[in-house]
Structure 1
Amino acid sequence: MNKALVVQLTRFGDLVQTKRLVLTLQKRSLEVHLCVDKSLKSLASILYPEVVVHSIVAHGTGINDSGFNSVLSTNYDIFNTLKSINFSEIYNLNFSPMNYALSTLFDSAKVKGHKIVNGQPVKSRWFDLAFRLASERRNNINLVDYWSALSPDMLPASEVNPKAAPKGGGVGIVLAGRETRRSLPYDVLAPLVMSARSTNKCKKIFLLGSQAELELSRKLLTEFPPSVAADTVNLTGKTDWAELADTISSLDLVITPDTGTMHLAAHLGVPVLGFFLSSAWCTETGPYGVGHTIIQADIECSPCIESQPCYNHLKCLNSFKDSGTIRFVATRNVKYLPAGLTVFESDCDFLGTNFLLKAGKDGTGERRSRLRKFIACHLGLLDIGEYGPFSDIAEKFYKEKDWITA
């Protein structure tokens, strides 16, 4: 059996979002190996039980008391193991120094994604085009589909994650993500949680997060009425990967910002109610599959760049504070939705996961639809004779090297 290696050295959510690529390679009868950061090895085994997992120290979290000597020793051994395996295809998904170093272990002709060729960093032609397409972030494709499109014969998007459906165990609340501005403050989140809980027959609430959110969880609990607080289980900082997956798998709903836990819920077929603001934009990083709802902050500066200062005083947060948003979450009646918010629901189409307008305004929806068809024709998923031509899009995004070097 031919073997394929997927190198995914970024974070929790990115590992989950590699699923369509992994399943596609398995569908093509390849033995899939996955190289991840040491901190995510056990999670990778839970997500992908039929995959051979290799772990290296790619982030500071993997450095133990022995320091960098242990890092060098661990990584050297894994590098030698990987080099000794005759992989027919290598999918190198990130452009970190460690990813580039790993790519040099293999024949560059076998490496897809990011690699070093003659001492220079090079992107595959699809990644090169996709980087240009990302200049229109409101119309960008889902990260799951971006990675998966490196492989031919992609698994249909509808077969990646189960259709989301309540499981009967209550509501999970993800307190915060890694990017601070993407998360609602606890006093803004609390009334929205109460509103969502009012529509759920099972009143149990589970607070989810790492040790870093422990103080935030305590503050959130003080915002709940005593009767609700009594029905709340605070699991912040108390679950390992297996326990987190087990908890989420039993829930009716997960309320969350753009987080890895959100992607884990989608992986398990649990409905997501996502609050997206700041740099988070649902068409890029929303939950994958059918049956998830995103309330998206949509103002003139959305989506922003998290690493840059906000000069609008977090204007995108204002609509989440509006009482109309609380009423909308409880009733889903569009008359309550305030300006500055757009509601999308996830679905699957010819290209991957798409987000369909349910309430509010989607100023770029028509453009996004055309771009999706253009990309699908580029990838051979649709017939350009039927859906094209796309002369204006091609003139913007194609470069001479796309066909001169093909």
Structure 2
Amino acid sequence: MKNILVLTLTRLGDLIQGTPLISGLRAKYPDAKITQMVSTDFAEFAERIPHVDETIVLNLRQFKGKEEDRQRTLWVDVFQYLEQFMDEVKSRKFDLVVNLSHSKLSAFMNLYLNPKRTIGFACNKEGDRMSLHPWMQYFGIEPFNRAYNPFNLVEIFARCGDMDPAGETVRIETRPDDSASIAGLLAEQGIRSDDFLIGVQAGSSLEGRRWPAHYFAELIDSLTAELGAKIILFGVAGESELAGKIKDSVKNKMQVVDLTGKTNITQLTAMLPKCQYLVTNDTGTMHIAAALGVKIVGLFFAHAHPYETGPYAPGHLIFQSRIACAPCSYGVACNNIICIHSVQPKHVFGMMAEHQQTGKWQWPASWGTAPDMNLVKTEWDHKKRLRLIPLLKHPLQLVDLFKEAYYHFWPMVLEGKRLSDPKATGAEIVRFMNEHYDCGEWEKIQPALERKKQELEQLIEHAIKGIKAGFTVLKNLTGNRNKGNTLQKLTEEIESIDEKIKNIGFAHPEIKPVAELFSKRKENFLGDDPVVLTKATIQCYQRLEAESRELLRVLENVEQHQTLQNDEPNLENKAVLAGR
């Protein structure tokens, strides 16, 4: 590959979370020219993405506000701009396009560019969506199975490029003149070099994701009074009203500096590393801070999910509500956002004060339990994969078990491999569960787990029927006999099998990711040759059978190891009693 284009048009966070992928592309293709396409909103920041040779800016914002000049923006103007823009991009003849934007526009762009190879979201000539990599197919089903997803977008993006993200963190470039850009700002705001600075990002792109302003004010009062901190309020100009509300509510206003709307990208990049911590909702500022090595105290509510978009580096702390509906499904507009009240200012301050004193994120036993709150820290595992490690030992739920199983399962099966040692994998999952969860009520989980195993066996049975039906179709297509009625019946049989597979997924969310990935793969069929399509269908059923069997093996080994784990104390007690 000599000429690579990376499309990142969606969010600032995606731009930063894609940096390990770009780093991997540079390592894999050291002589290639890497170009990124971004929207106008991210143009300034995009210049700080490492290993990129050129940035192309899609400027649709130029059409916003044109109604002030005339009655309306003519669609012909937009079309002419896009045509000229895309013709220029197409003339560069990219060998590889990596589309990390999950929009219809980016998919059509990819179709128009017609690269030699595509990774990510695309569409065929009829406009039907496609996901051109196993990990992008997984990414396509993940929003509908969020509770069972153990992967950060960083890992998903990197694996889309066939790269191992082990030990990778997000990165942005700093410049020698960054510090000089804030010299006047520091003097103006009275910020000294020996101040203990804590950043606060109270805003977020979606208002429903925000921790309440009065909680931020209460936290700030504790940080200034107990730790002697000076608080820096970060944010865009549109969040100035929120910042003003917080500052008006705090007791020691002299210890709060409001920089909302007062920093450009260069100044923000220079100011963040001066902070010992950044307390933030799920925001682009959080990802910038993580890339700069600032300790994050993340607050994840409503749609925000730390497993997807948490800070990708070790040593950070994340709060999230532990209620049945968290995180919200995308597209849901909650009219009673109760999850933001699961995390109280005393929780956040207590953890920060403990960390400031000991250098560790730990929940003291004297604080008791917090059943409605998840508290995790980011940490490398023994394979240098980033994990979210629970700090509160909640009773194990079935969702926790399956999330941990999928952590080991998907990286292997999406690469067409089998787990080399299912018994060792089962033992590793059980060790993690017992270390970080209360598994004392395992007997209550077992009946539900047995039911899920039975449903996996049903998936296997349906997959085998689909394989047989597919080969029968293939035989009829390549034979010379009258095949019209037979093919019609076989097509109806396959449709019935597919419907049963889909229904199992709907009824059993724990195994729905496996069922949905089967359907997602079928979206990627190309052409209208019935023989080719039938062969592709057979392969989908074969993958479903193999993946269902592999997950079943993992769960059986988990069950065996956990049952033995629970039996050990009983055996010890019996031995003690027998010795008396």
| TM-score range relative to shorter protein | 0.7 to 0.9
SS at match of 2:203: coil
Superposition RMSD in Å: 3.2
**For residues 283-305 of structure 1, what are the alpha-carbon distances to aligned partners after superposition, in whole Å with 9 as ceiling and x for unaligned?**
11111111110011111111113
Output the CA distance in 1 between the equivalents of 2:385 and 2:57. 29
Query: Is the CA contact 2:375–2:392 (under 8 Å) kept in the aligned structure 1?
Result: yes
Output the CA distance in 1 between the equivalents of 2:9 and 2:417. 32
Aligned residues between the structures: 397
Query: Is the CA contact 1:161–1:289 (under 8 Å) kept in the aligned structure 2?
Result: no
- Match for residue 215 of structure 2 among 179, 188, 193: 188
Counterpart of 1:146 in structure 2: which amino acid? I
SS at match of 2:377: strand
Output the CA distance in 2 between the equivalents of 1:88 and 1:194. 55
- Match for residue 97 of structure 1 among 95, 104, 126: 104
Structure 1 length-normalised TM: 0.86
Q: Please say if 1:117 is aligned against 2:117.
A: no
Output the CA distance in 2 between the equivalents of 1:328 and 1:198. 16
Matches within 5 A, 1:151-300: 151-161=161-171, 170-196=197-223, 203-226=229-252, 229-300=253-324
Sequence identity percentage: 22
Richer in helix (by share): 2
SS at match of 1:374: helix
Report the equivalent of 2:570: none
Q: 1:73 to 1:154 in 2, by over 3 A?
A: farther
Report the equivalent of 1:135: 144
Which range moved further: 316-325 or 286-295? 316-325
Query: Is the CA contact 1:63–1:71 (under 8 Å) kept in the aligned structure 2?
Result: no
Counterpart of 1:224 in structure 2: which amino acid? V
SS at match of 1:47: coil
- Match for residue 341 of structure 1 among 365, 373, 377: 373
Deviation at 1:101, TM superposition (A): 2.4
Q: Please say if 1:80 is aligned against 2:111.
A: no
Counterpart of 1:358 in structure 2: which amino acid? L
Deviation at 1:18, TM superposition (A): 1.4
Greater C-alpha Rg: 2
SS at match of 1:95: coil
Unaligned runs of 5+ in 1: none
Output the CA distance in 1 between the equivalents of 2:220 and 2:63. 35
Output the CA distance in 2 between the equivalents of 1:155 and 1:289. 12
Unaligned runs of 5+ in 2: 173-193, 355-362, 427-452, 457-510, 523-535, 541-580
Which range moved further: 278-287 or 98-107? 98-107
Output the CA distance in 2 between the equivalents of 1:223 and 1:113. 46
**For residues 158-216 of structure 1, what are the alpha-carbon distances to aligned partners after superposition, in whole Å with 9 as ceiling and x for unaligned?**
35459xxxx98611110111111111111012222344556756x22110111111111
Counterpart of 2:45 in structure 1: which amino acid? L
Output the CA distance in 2 between the equivalents of 1:61 and 1:317. 37
Matches within 5 A, 1:37-48: 37-48=39-50
Q: 1:168 to 1:153 in 2, by over 3 A?
A: farther
Counterpart of 2:211 in structure 1: which amino acid? L
Deviation at 1:340, TM superposition (A): 1.0
Q: 1:246 to 1:76 in 2, by over 3 A?
A: farther
Q: 1:132 to 1:324 in 2, by over 3 A?
A: closer
Output the CA distance in 2 between the equivalents of 1:158 and 1:129. 21
SS at match of 1:366: helix
Ranked by relative contact order (alpha carbons within 8 Å, sequence separation 6 or more), the top structure is 1
Counterpart of 1:39 in structure 2: which amino acid? D
Deviation at 1:57, TM superposition (A): 2.3
Counterpart of 2:109 in structure 1: which amino acid? L
Query: Is the CA contact 2:7–2:100 (under 8 Å) kept in the aligned structure 1?
Result: yes
**For residues 367-396 of structure 1, what are the alpha-carbon distances to aligned partners after superposition, in whole Å with 9 as ceiling and x for unaligned?**
222101111212449861224899846854
Q: 1:306 to 1:135 in 2, by over 3 A?
A: closer
Deviation at 1:325, TM superposition (A): 5.4
Matches within 5 A, 1:3-18: 3-18=3-18
Deviation at 1:35, TM superposition (A): 0.3
Query: Is the CA contact 2:379–2:386 (under 8 Å) kept in the aligned structure 1?
Result: yes
Counterpart of 1:263 in structure 2: which amino acid? H
SS at match of 2:327: coil
Query: Is the CA contact 1:342–1:360 (under 8 Å) kept in the aligned structure 2?
Result: no
SS at match of 2:421: helix
